[in-house]
Amino acid sequence: MKTATYYMQNLAEAREMAGRCKLLDEQKLRTLSPGDYQEWQISNEGVNCQTALSVSEAASVRELVLKQSRPSVPVATPKVSAPPSSAVPSLRDRSDQKLSSSRILAPV
């Protein structure tokens, strides 16, 4: 019997076996009695088929997720530039603004 670890290390074999097993499983399901089909499922051949199918499907899902998580076009990081110095009031201007606004609001 071949393990999932074996099939993960031999993915091409797992995929080939999975393709054959899909057809074999359908054929066994049609031709065997329910009891004989269950017996086949727990046989070495049946377990190898199920393991190969599981590993093959998991590898396909993993590849799809990895493909979708990678950006297809490299994302450029935007350049952050400092605003021109004239757009930012100097500390002196700010303190002058505070003083002038307090004069306006101060009671006479």
Q: Which two tokens stand for residue 81?
A: 């530039």
Domain ranges in the chain are 4-69
Q: Determine what percent of the chain is predicted with pLDDT higher than 70.
A: 65
How far apart CA 63 and CA 68 sit, in angstroms, is 9
pLDDT at position 93 over 60 = no
Mean pLDDT of 83-102: 54
- Tens digits of residue pLDDT in 36-76: 999 999 999 999 999 999 999 999 999 999 888 877 666 56
